[in-house]
Structure formats: C-alpha cells, structure tokens
Structure 1
Amino acid sequence: MKPTKKLGVIVAVDGDISQVGMYSMSNDAEFIWYGDVLTGPKVGAFLTINQNNIKIIATVSNEKIIDQQNTVKSIEFDNRYNKNSINRIIMLKTKGVIVDEEFQVTSQYVPMIGNEITLTKKSELAVIYGIKDEDPCIYLGKSILEGQPINIPINQFFASHIGIFGNTGSGKSNTLHKLYLQLLNSPYRDKICEKSQFYIIDFNGEYTSPNHFGLLEEDGKKLVKINTRESRKGNKLPVKKKYLFDADILSILFDARPATQVPFLRNALKLWDEKKFNGKRMAKFVVGTLKKILTTGNAASSDAKDNWISLAKKYIDEKNLFDHLNSLIYYSGNACYKATKEIYINDKTGMSNDAIGYLKLTEIEYKLEQVFNSINQINQLKFHLEFQKVHQSSWKATNIEHINPLFNRINTAFSSLDKVIEVVDDISDAYKTVNVISLVHANQEITRLIPMLLSKMIYDEQKLNVSGEKITQTKHLIIDEAHNILSSSYRNNGDDWQDYRLSIFEEIIKEGRKFGFYLTLSSQRPSDISATILSQTHNYFIHRLVNEKDLKMLENTMPTLDKNSLRMIPSLGKGEAIITGNAIKVPVFTKIEKEEINRPDSDDIILSELWT
C-alpha cells in the first residue's frame, strides 16, 4: 500500500466545517506521489481526514493565511514578508466517509482536533466516484479537478426524473443527447428497444438528424416534423380520438368563453360521444334538425332554416338541390311553410312523403352522408360542431351571436390541426422506441398544444397498462427548452390553458415514477419552471448559470446541492457541469465529453466562415 502525503492537522471544528493548519506553505496545484498525479489542496478539491481506520472525505471550501510577523494593525505587508512568516489555513467541508472500501454519506463520524489531513489518493477517489461492481452504469466524462472517469448508475438515474439546466451555449443540449446516446449504446440496447419508449419534444429542431441518439429509422426511431406553414409539408402526429375530442382540451384550444361557448362545446361533444356518428347517422341527424325547424313553426328562430341551408351548401356543390327549400314561403299567422298548393308543413301535418320528395331531402341526406364519410375525423368533428351551432341556436336555447366568434377561432385551429394531427383509434403501433417530435416549424397554437396532448396521452396509456400490475415497460418523456411550456408565471393571470397544462405535468412528476413514467427536463431558465415540478426532480446536470433568479431557484429546490457547489456554477466552462441528486453521493464537477460527429444541431455559428 502506498504511503499518504501528509499536509496538515485539524486545529478547529465547527459542525461540518473544519480548519486545517498546513505543515508548509506549499501551494502546488498538483502533486506527483508515487507515480500518481494528485490534486493539491485548492478550492473544490477532495482531501482525506484520517481518524483511526476511518477516512473522512472533505472538500476545500476556502483558504487564508495568518502572518506571524505583521499584525492586523499593519497598513500593508512590509519587507519582512517571507515564506516562513506565513501560516496557511484551509477550511474543509465534510462530505462523507470511506468505511470498508465503501463511500457513505453519514454524520456518524466527525472530524476532531488533531486528525491529520492527507491528499486523497486515486484509490480513494475511485471509491468516492465509483459504483459497485454489480451496478450497471454509463460513462459521461471526467471529473474537472482530478480527471477521474465519471460513470452514472443506470438504475438510480434513469428510473427518476432528471433536470438539465444551463445558459445558452453551456453544453446542456450535448449533455441531454450524450446521456441517452450512451444509454442506447449500452449492452442493454436490445431490451431497451423491446421494453421502453422515449419521446423527445424538440422545440428547436436540434435532434432531427438520422443518427441522433444512436438509432436509425430501421432500428426503431420515428421522426415527426410538425409543420404548420403552407410552403412546407410536415408529418402528422398520431393522437387517439378521445384525447383530441375532449371538451376541456378543445375549450382551451378554441379559447371558449365559460358562460356560453364552453357549455355549447360540452353539449356538442357529449352528443358526439353518445351517438358515435358515422356518415349515415350524422346525415340523418342533420336532416332531422331541418325537419324539426320546418315543423315547429314560430318556436324556431326566423333565420334557422336559412342558416341550415347556407351551411349545407358549404358541403354540397349541387346548389340546385336546394331550390325548393329556398322557395318555401312561411306564413307566421298559421305557423306553417307552404311548398305548393297541396304541400304545407307545420307541427300538425308534419313532414309527409310528398314534402320530403318535393324538397329533395332524401338526396340531400345522401349527399351529406357521402361528404361526411369522405373527410378525416378532424373535419368530421368540425362538420358536427357547425351543424350543432345551427341545431342549438334554432330554438333560442343558445344565442348564435355568442357562438359565432368561437367559430372564427375553431376554423383557424382546425386548419392547423388538420396539418399536424392524425386521429387514430390505437397508438400501440404508432410509436417506436425513440420518437422525436420537432416543433421548430409549428405555430404558437400548435407548439403549446402538442406537448400537452402527447404527454397526457402517453402518460394515461402507461398508467392504464401498468396500474395494479408489475411494471414490465417504461416510458421516458424528454422535453428540451422546457420553460416554453412549464412556466408558472401565467398561472395567476387567469390563463386557463396554462393551468390545465401545468396540472397535467405536475401530476406526471408527482405520480409518474410509480407507473414507470419518467420525465427529463432541459432548460436555460429553471426559474421560469413551476417550483412544484422542479422540486420533484431527483437528479440534475447543472451547467453554467449566471442569473440570480435561476441560482436562487436551484438553491431552494435542490437539497443535494451545497453552497460551495452553488457558488461555482457561474464560473463553469462550456461542457462542464455539476452532477448531483439522489443517485450521486456528492456533487460531481464533470467535463461532459462532446461527441465529435453524432451531436445535436446546436453548435455556435462561426461568422467568419459564414462571411468568407
């Protein structure tokens, strides 16, 4: 066994802070000791406190000197300063102990005056940073000070919620990609592809290259490029019908007013669910509305018939089909419609076969059936809502003037939805192992809808599949630039959309772990993310952050981040990060290795090359 390099002795103890009187003024940054290069006693470095057979591990938090020849009354250090006149004092913060070759975080052992301090040897660093031989792990980089390989445990890390935070250009995108690239390149790759799914919500289009995350399309990767622009063609996201055709989601998407428009949507969607419309049933119901308008006389609104005809013409090109309907004459005194001398329509006569034949209602019904069957499910719902507007306003139960503004927003929203969403009955085969949803070309409306819709759908599916059963499959939701959708700043400003979305993600982060559903958040502004969500995150990669609000948020929500580590965050270099959390016993300062070829499309632009 190699002897240890003795540096000093403890001269004062205050809780977990110890003062060390150094044996010499040596301020070497590194020592060569029996063939090993060991880190010197500088701020942030590990040192070992020897107490019998126990090795207490501590880090240097600060250092100072005591001048034996100059007093505190001296104006300046004069020419009496020399090496031998200065005593060096360093402060240590206890991190844990090594007992039986295992590192533990415990308060059972505390430093005592007289304990000697030695350089922390390579073998001791291996124990501090290391993982038990039986624990599977992945390699991410090396510790900044010691150059020690940093491995993170797969089980403790990926079966948890993960936060990756850092300013623009600090390397957080590379860390996110490296983390999952290493996982998918691990020996567990085949079983991961069989048992787990990963969903990456990519706001900036950084993870859309064919080989990102180490999987090609034929290996089990699905790339969905959402595009709402007219000039470009995008992909459609498979969504189960019940998640899109939901009153709460549509009310928020259409910005429906609570007093009049939300009840309209709820009634319309309740009918949609009950009737389970196909073309035949829908056409019969719609023409039934017209028949009721014609036979209820003064009870119906005066413009109800014209509203119905105007909407039907929108879907049927053969305008002459409606000639007889347009020529109906209404006699308010008798509350009846006159078609011909022989054909009258009112609540007493009803709709005779002659009247139905004369008004060509059978042909109109058939045409409407054909139209309904020929359009996709999003437009079928729009069809239903438009005829429901006529139906619900025809007998003054709903004021059409209150509903019309809603339909201006419905038309815009459905136009976007039709480009980006494919309504399906089942999503079991719709998604692959790795699914990247790029939103870089989506409008704001779709950008805020898709993450919430997808997250709720896959979380509910996972919860349904594993509830009460042994977990045999997992889902991992990865959100880059998470502050775009998880900001809590609008919660108190009456933003129903934000409230609904945050409630979904707060449920996921509180309850998801027990169902095998894990969340990874990456953001340059952690202070913008809901504190509830941030405080439930278990493991963190913290890159350089300088904003005071962000640093304060980290301090308040991360119990494993000590003050010394917090103070170092603003001075971290590009690609450097502090790894901390439940899976890591002490905060680890790491230089995350950068992939030379397979990395996110987030490199800084070199303007001189662009302009050459």
Structure 2
Amino acid sequence: MKNKINNDNFISESVLKIGSVSEVKGKNILVRVDKNKNAPHLIFDGKIIKNVSVGSYVKIAKGYNEIIGKIEGEFISEDKNLENNNYTSKNNKIKRFLNVTLVGYIDNSIFRQGLKELPLIENDCYLLNDLEFNCIHSFAKIEDDKIKLGYLLNETNTPIELGVDKLFASHIGVFGNTGSGKSYTLSKIYYELLNKYKENTNFQKNAKFILIDFNGEYAIENDNDNIIVEKALKSRFFLSTSKSDKDRFPIPESEINDLTFWSILLKATEQTQKPFLNSSLFKKTLVEHTKTENGIKALIYNTLSTILTQGSRNLDKDFHIFFLDELFKLNNSSSVFPNIKDVRNRLKSGLKTDYGNWILENIKHGEKPNEFLFKLKEIVQSLVIDLSKQNSFVKIRLQIIINYFDVITKGYYSKEHIGPLYNRLESKFNEITKVFAVTNEDKIIINKKPLIVVNLNDVNVEMKKIIPLVICKYYYEFFKKNNLDRENYLNIIVDEAHNILSRNSIRESETWKDYRLETFEEIIKEGRKFGVFLTISSQRPFDISDTIISQLHNYFLHRLINNKDIEAIGRTVSYLDKISFDSLSILPQGGCILAGLSADLPVVMKIDKLPDENKPYNETIVLTKKWK
C-alpha cells in the first residue's frame, strides 16, 4: 500500500510539473516551461485541467517548503543550442518562460501571505491540485463565522466565503461605473450579514447600520419594501426639501447648538458673519430670555424701543415694522406668535405720527419720551406667545433675528456685511426644519431595528451634502464618547459617496469643503477605536479624497472606464497586483475584484444572485418593453 501511495505521488508530480526556476530577482522570478507542457490543457486524475496561463497560480517546491506564485506574464525565445539541433518539431525550438510574482506559502495545508524564503534556481514548479487551489482561495478559517458572496469568475465551482470579523470590522469600499453592479454588490454584502444575524437579540441590541441613500435605491414608500432586508427590520426616513409632510430625521439639540453647523448652513464669512452668528447663538441675554414668554416680550420691546429712540438717521424709515415682519415670517412656520399680525398693524398705525414727529424734532440720543414707551410696552404686552410651538430651530432663528436688528441699530455691524447672511436665513431654516426634528438623545440611538435607511432622493443638492454630514457627525461623536469599551457596533454606509466626499467641488467654499472632508477623514482614521466603521460606494473614486480611499481595508472593484478613476485606484489601493489592476476596465457586469484584509490574495469573483424582492431599486429600463 505504501508503494502505491508513492507511485500515486510520483504520477501526480510528473503530470503537474510544468518547469523549473531559471532566474530569481527578489519576489519576481522566471520559470522555464518544459517543452512537453505547452498544451492549453492537461489530463489529470481523469479530468481535463487548465494548463498554466496568465493570472493563475503555481507552486514551487524548495525541499519541504511549498512557495506559491502568481503568473503575471509570459514570453518565448528561440532555443539556440547548436549542439542539439535535431528537433522532431519546430515547436520544440521554442522556449517558453513565465514571469511569476511570489505571493505566499502553504504551511500545514494553510495558505500564508508573505514570504519567509525565496526559491533557488532549478527548483521545480507545479500546477496546483484541487486541494491546494481551494486552500489558496479559502479566506476564512473553518471555525470562523462566514458569509458567501459569490464564486470565482473563471472557476464557478469555487465559492468565495469571507469571515464576518475580517470584513465588517473594517472600512469597505465598493467602486464601479454605472451599470457595473456596485449597488447590487453593496446590497448583497449587507443582505447576507443581516439575514445571518437578524434573529439574534445581541445583534439587534448592539449593531447599527445607517445607509445614506442619495438616489432612492434602497427604500421605497410601500409595504412591500424588502430591499436588502424586510421592512420590519429597518427604519426608513424619506426626507424632502420640497414637501413639508415627509419624514424628519431626529437629531439632538446639541447638534444644532453648534457654531460650525450654522456657519456652514448659512455660508458665513470668517471675519464678520461668523462672529455675528456666535453672538446670536451664545449671548447669555438672548439664550436665557428666549426660554420664557416674559423674556421674549422684553427682548422685542427693547429692540423696538432702541430702533425708535436710538436708531440713526441711516436706518430705514420703517425699520421697526421690518422687524415685526421678520417675526411674522417666523410665525408662518411655527405659530409661536398667533396674533403677531394684529400687533404689527397696531404698531404701524398707532406710532407712525409719533415716530415722524420725533425725527423732525431731532430728539437727542438716549432721550425716551415716557408716553411713547408706555404705549409701545402696552402693544408688545398684547403679543400672545405660544411656547409649546417653539422648538430649538425656532428659538435659534428668533435669537438671530433679534440680534441682527439690535447690532444694526446700534451700529456694531454694517448692513452690507451681515445682510447677505441674514437674507439667507429664511430659506435655509425652511429647508432644515423640513428634514430634521429635534428630539431626545436616547430616542435616536436606542432603536431595535438594526438598519436605518435615509432616503435623500427628494432633497436638493445643497442639503444632500449637509444632511449626511450632520447625521454621521452626530453618531460618530456619540460613539466616541459612549462606546469606549466597543460593546456596540456602527457601520455608516454611504452610497454614491462622491456626493459628500468630493474634493473638487466648485459650488462651495473652501471652509465647508475642508470641514466635511476632515469630518469623514477622522471617522475613517479613528473610528475603529470606538466601534465605528465606514462603507462607501461610488462610481467616481477620482473625486474622493485619497486619504479616505487609502484608509479602506476591503475593496470590491467593479468595471472602471475613466482613466482618472483607474489611476486613483492604482494610486491608493495597495492590495492589487498588476493582473488585477489591468483587468479593471474589462470586467463583466456583476464581476468584481475582491482585495483587502479579508482576502489573502486579490481575486476576480462573480457576485451571487439576490432574491428579486431584496434587489436595489435601480435596474436599467428596458426601452423595447416600454415602446412595444
């Protein structure tokens, strides 16, 4: 029996042996192919197997060590051996060589990436048998939790299974042109994960996934929404800047009491407008007085009396009416001042003559006619204030309005300097209050549904940049403060990530661009410490910050056509070999290159099919079906 085993090994080695090493230059070696092994296929163990080809793997035997290399090219040369020129065939005059890059070794039937030694000249080179081939493409240990995403593109009987820990405790990038299958791959990754663990109580308690959906591909407004996972397991927010009856994403008050947030939203300049915003948000008198009904009336009375008795001649004649008009606009969205229109009319008709007489009589600075002030206070006291309608957004807008009229009246700021910011106030508040709702901090984090989908399909371009930033920044900061033991897990998934991570936008200020990029760069560089990970998907990797792409740990690369996108991948992704990189532009639909920490070697794979009900809502329209 022992002799039979030895004979089997001898036959196996003689069939699978293809040549020997002829040159060694570091990890790059040259293999000379035996002249009887130039056929495209071999017969081994009753099967037809592929002979050596570019992109396949070979084994080099050095004593008891088995070194694995990948074939990256081949060439031929003519045999000029003059002593032996009696060839039986012209083909035997050709010498075939393989350019092989060493990638690892096999140790106790386990593939190890990296090198511990180099081969020697004349070491034999072999094709891989089935066991060795499967060993190289087994990216997870037997005892690991795994998910199956697909199979090798050219070896359909070889499944690709990835370890859950290696894949999801990392930052993930999915890149590819439109129609290449990147959205499908993104859905497949999280479909497999959520369906594997969705019944586990600890998973529901400790894991959170937030999917920023720019184009409405991962959630639809009906009861049959099972994209990625069934509706019962996800919270959906359909946001809109054009409609007021849509969902509002809950954020805590701490997020909107932030100078940077309002500076970016209102496009405040650094020198004058930002200091004005700072005083509007944090001046103690404003903050405290806007909390109570009497405090708000005192602020309104003081502002009106200052305008009418201390304002310079350069002020608009009806500047006090303009102030009440602004309060009226605020009332339109919140109903905090139910009778503001009546108060405005009383003030306009009752004080017009008095105001004109004071100007004509050149009333001295600081002089306050008691009769007028008594009448003014009476009118302001008649104002009805419903504090139940005053949320945090209304409070901040009220603070900005009062502060604006106060500083302009007193001459602290020029109208030309802060007027442009103030003019943007109404439209920006209308947008922000349509998409966000201030809520208790516990409500936003404690959610039994593991997946949150934020649909931005009906949100304007500017708010599409701000909303993801606010959401991601809040969740990251929360985990940064409260998840130091890393018991909880957060994965922020950004589809069409170039919308928020672009480095080349010309429609925004440098301050805003720097702020959003720095925020996401911090998440991707530091988030792992706090259990926060980022998954980005994009058709334009060139537009995304190199810092972000280079910090990703696992890549799913679909077809890329644009040279700049391919260059961006080549510049920032260190896991790719030359063969994989060169194939980026010719990958078929659904095919992708898997590279990164979860795969020992880059492989070209085909993503498995998703059930129809779980597919993303992005299939290309079939025109002929619509036209017939």
The answer for the alignment partner of 1:50 in structure 2 is 61
Residue 346 of structure 2 is aligned to residue 321 of structure 1:
yes
Could you tell me which residue of structure 1 aligns to residue 619 of structure 2? 603
Specify the SS of the correspondent of 1:402. Answer: helix
> Which one of 217, 236, 240 corresponds to residue 252 of structure 2?
240
CA displacement at 1:24 relative to structure 2: 3.7
Structure 2: gaps of 5 or more residues: 83-87, 332-339
Q: Is the 8 A contact 1:299 1:395 kept in 2?
A: no
Change (3 A) 1:68 1:140: same
Would the alpha carbon gap of residues 188 and 27 (structure 1) be closer, same or farther in structure 2, given more than 3 Å must change?
farther
Match of 1:155 in 2: 165
For the Cα contact (< 8 Å) 1:69–1:81, is it kept in 2?
A: no
Aligned partner of 1:267 among 266, 279, 287: 279
2:213 is equivalent to residue 199 of structure 1:
no
State the match for 1:135 in structure 2. Answer: 144
Give 3-state SS (helix, strand or coil) of 2:626's partner.
helix
Is 1:64 the counterpart of 2:53? The answer is: no
Equivalent position to 2:300, from 286, 289, 292 = 286
Task: Identify the residue that residue 180 of structure 1 maps to in structure 2.
Answer: 190
- Residue 253 (str. 1) matches residue 265 (str. 2): yes
Partner of 1:420: 435
Deviation string for 1:505-524 (max 9, x for gaps)? 11111111111110011111
Residue pairs, 1:37-116, within 5 angstroms: 38-68=49-79, 82-116=90-124
Matches within 5 A, 1:503-514: 503-514=518-529
Query: What's the offset of the Cα at 1:261?
Result: 2.1
Query: 2:383 is paired with a residue of what secondary structure?
Result: helix
Pairwise mapping of residues 345-494 of structure 1 onto structure 2 (< 5 A)? Answer: 347=366, 358-359=375-376, 361-362=377-378, 364-365=380-381, 367=383, 369-370=385-386, 373-426=388-441, 427-429=444-446, 432-466=449-483, 469-490=484-505
CA contact (8 A) 2:287 2:399 kept: no
- RMSD, matched Cα: 3.0
- 399-408 or 136-145, which deviates more: 399-408
Paired residue for 2:334?
none
Cα drift, residue 399 of structure 1: 2.0
Change (3 A) 1:394 1:298: closer
CA spacing shift, 1:309–1:410, aligned 2, 3 Å: closer
Task: Name the residue aligned to 1:526.
Answer: 541
Out of 134-143 and 486-495, give the one that drifted further: 486-495
State the distance in 2 between where 1:431 and 1:378 align.
28
SS at structure 2 position matched to 1:194: helix
Contact 1:63 1:90 survives alignment (8 Å): yes
Aligned residues of 2:290 and 2:399 also touching (Cα < 8 A): no
What CA distance in whole angstroms lies between the structure 2 residues aligned with 1:511 and 1:604? 38
1:21-76 deviation line (CA, Å, top 9, x unaligned): 222454555545325664431111112112222211111111223344899xxxxx
The Cα of 1:501 is off from its aligned counterpart by: 0.7
Q: CA deviation at 1:445?
A: 1.6
> Could you tell me how far 1:94 is from its partner in structure 2?
1.0
**Larger deviation, residues 168-177 vs 142-151:** 142-151
**2:180 alignment partner in structure 1:** 170
AA in 2 matched with 1:506:
E
1:309 Cα deviation (Å)?
Answer: 4.5
CA distance in 2, matches of 1:328, 1:431: 63
Q: Give the conservation status (yes or no) of the 8 Å contact 1:25–1:83.
A: no
Contact 1:138 1:152 in 2 (8 A): yes
CA separation in 1, counterparts of 2:316 and 2:497? 52
Moved more, 431-440 or 156-165: 431-440
Does the aligned pair in 2 maintain the 1:525–1:550 contact within 8 Å?
yes
Q: Is the 8 A contact 2:305 2:373 kept in 1?
A: no
Between 1:148-157 and 1:25-34, the stretch displaced more is: 25-34
Q: 2:191–2:229: 8 Å Cα contact kept in structure 1?
A: yes
Unaligned ranges ≥5, structure 1:
72-79, 338-345
Length, aligned pairs only = 588
Kindly provide the amino acid, as one letter, of the partner of residue 132 in structure 1.
Answer: K
For residue 18 of structure 2, what is the aligned residue in structure 1?
A: 7
SS at match of 2:155: coil
Secondary structure of the 2:18 match is strand
The change in CA–CA distance for 1:546 and 1:253 in structure 2 (over 3 A counts) is: same
The answer to whether structure 1 residue 223 and structure 2 residue 248 are counterparts is no
How far residue 105 of structure 1 moved from its aligned partner, in angstroms, is: 1.9
Tell me how far apart the structure 1 counterparts of residues 69 and 560 of structure 2 sit (CA, whole Å). 25
1:364 shift after superposition: 2.8
TM-score by length of 2: 0.86
Letter aligned with residue 184 of structure 2: N
Alignment TM-score, normalising by the size of structure 1: 0.88
Whether the 8 Å contact between 1:235 and 1:420 is mirrored in structure 2 is: yes
Q: Distance in 1 between matches of 2:425 and 2:242?
A: 18
Distance 1:326 1:55 in 2: 98
Distance 1:283 1:481 in 2: 48
Question: For residues 227 and 491 of structure 1, what CA distance do their matches in structure 2 show?
Answer: 24
Amino acid at match of 1:206: E
1:331 aligned to 2:345?
Answer: no
Question: For the residues of structure 1 that align with 2:51 and 2:625, how far apart are their CA atoms?
Answer: 41
